[in-house]
Amino acid sequence: MRKRVLSGVKPSGEQAHIGNYFGAMRQFVELQETHENFIFVADYHALTTIHDGEALRQYTLEIATEHLAVGLDPEKTVLFRQSDVPEVAELAWVLGCVTPHGLLERAHAFKDARAKGLEVNAGLFNYPVLMAADILIYKSHLVPVGQDQKQHIEITRDIAEKFNRTFGKVFIVPQALISEETGVILGLDGRKMSKSYGNTIMLFEPEESIYKKVMRIVTDSTPLGHPLNPDKCTVFAFHRLFNPEGLEELRQRYLEGSIGYAEAKKWLFEKMMEKLRPLRERWAELRRQPEYVEQVLREGGEKARAVARETMREVRQAVGVGGLR
Ligand code: AMP
């Protein structure tokens, strides 16, 4: 039996960048070949910060479109909208009743928001409980996460264990799946690629705009004809992602001083477009068919909901709410 893997993606309205692709999206696509892959668009989670109904609905569709474009196959992955399974909100309530307040006070997202002086609504404070409900309701074995999300999985495990001890074993205690190869993807300025640094390349932005960005990747000022250090070069780091087949040749030319940054960037741009073109074409095509994307989400939601209903039947029976069935 294949293990079930669950991932959530938050509809933020921001387009996916190369860091998102190599750091998360690509793994989702690989996992659908080896695992039972559940991926949800976390619209309930987004509600902690987005208070514009029309925008949220639009962002949800956009992020689903992007994930289909990079290769998620609805035949192999259950792709759904979190809110199409309202049972998850019911479970969050139940789990909240076995979750110590202190556990949530220690959660990074809450602490960071408070430290920044942001207004913290109860939804944000309870975020880890809803996340636990997401994971536990589908009896997920594994949850792929970056290092920064490890704490949430620990919280989920604590909640699941506490529930199982209190009411009898209903939940699978999940494990974090931390991908070994996913390092940090660098942005144009050599820092971590991130929207907040303004150093991103989006997967689906216009080709001319990608070209301009590639040409302004920050390098040192070694003059043409001098050796370059591949291990301290952001252009070279991008080649690792898009040009593995040419990497040895490029390394040699860096060391010999027989290539300059401008040429290395032009080569990178060609390779980047070559690798991204199929995804970009699929994206353009899917954007013309929002009703297809909507249908994928709806059908995924039905599959997910069938699992969730069964779990909630067990939960209700265990905790004593609802009549016996
Ligand atoms: P965000 O939209 O920033 O929340 O990112 C979503 C996911 O994309 C994160 O959980 C990471 O797994 C991945 N990600 C984002 N930026 C990077 C990066 N620069 N390098 C590697 N992975 C990243």
User: CA 105 → CA 44, 59, 93, distances in Å?
Assistant: 20, 29, 17
Residues 44 and 123 in one domain: yes
Check residue 150 and give its pLDDT: 84
Residues 8 and 141 in one domain: yes
Residues 217 and 80 in one domain: no
Residues 108 and 255 in one domain: no
3-state secondary structure of 39: strand
Confirm whether 234 is domain-assigned: yes
Check residue 143 and give its pLDDT: 95
Q: Both ends of the chain: CA-CA distance in Å?
A: 29
Mutate to test the pocket of ligand 1, among 17, 20, 202 (most ligand atoms within 8 A of CB): 20
Q: Does this model's pTM top 0.85? A: yes
User: CA 252 → CA 58, 217, 232, 257, distances in Å?
Assistant: 47, 21, 15, 8
Residues 109 and 231 in one domain: no
In degrees, to the nearest 5, what angle opens at C-alpha 177 toward C-alphas 96 and 76?
95
Containing structural domain, residue 54 = 4-183+289-319
Residues 68 and 10 in one domain: yes
CA distance 23 to 110: 24
Confirm whether 198 is domain-assigned: no
Residues 19 and 81 in one domain: yes
CA–centroid distance, residue 170 to ligand 1 (Å) = 32
Ligand 1 neighbours (beta carbon < 6 A): 19-20, 23-24, 146, 184-185, 192-194
Q: What is the pLDDT along the chain (325 residues), one digit of tens a residue?
A: 899 999 999 999 999 999 999 989 999 999 999 999 999 999 999 999 999 999 999 999 999 999 999 999 999 999 999 999 999 999 999 999 999 999 999 999 899 999 999 989 999 999 999 999 999 999 999 999 876 778 889 999 999 999 999 999 999 999 999 766 567 899 999 999 999 999 999 999 999 999 999 999 999 999 999 999 999 999 999 999 999 999 999 999 999 999 999 999 999 999 999 999 999 999 999 999 999 999 999 999 999 999 999 999 999 999 999 987 6
Residues 215 and 313 in one domain: no
What one-character-per-residue DSSP string does 120-149 give?
--HHHHTHHHHHHHHHHHTT-SEEE--GGG
CB-CB contact of 304 with 85 (8 Å): yes
**Alpha carbon nearest to ligand 1 atom 7, residue:** 20
- The residue written with tokens 């353009």 in the block is 284
**Tally of domains in the chain:** 2
Confirm whether 197 is domain-assigned: no
Confirm whether 189 is domain-assigned: no
Check residue 180 and give its pLDDT: 63
**Alpha carbon nearest to ligand 1 atom 6, residue:** 20
Residues 306 and 233 in one domain: no
CA–centroid distance, residue 178 to ligand 1 (Å) = 13
Residues 167 and 266 in one domain: no
Residue 125 sits in a domain whose CATH number is: 3.40.50.620
Label residues 257-289 b or e (16+ Cβ within 10 Å = b). eebbbeebbebbbebbeeebeebbebbeebeee
Confirm whether 325 is domain-assigned: no
Check residue 302 and give its pLDDT: 98
**Alpha carbon nearest to ligand 1 atom 14, residue:** 20
CA–centroid distance, residue 23 to ligand 1 (Å) = 6
Residues 173 and 274 in one domain: no
Residues 16 and 141 in one domain: yes
3-state secondary structure of 243: coil
**Ligand 1 atom index nearest CA of 183:** 21
**Ligand 1 atom index nearest CA of 186:** 19
Residue 255 sits in a domain whose CATH number is: 1.10.240.10
Check residue 131 and give its pLDDT: 96
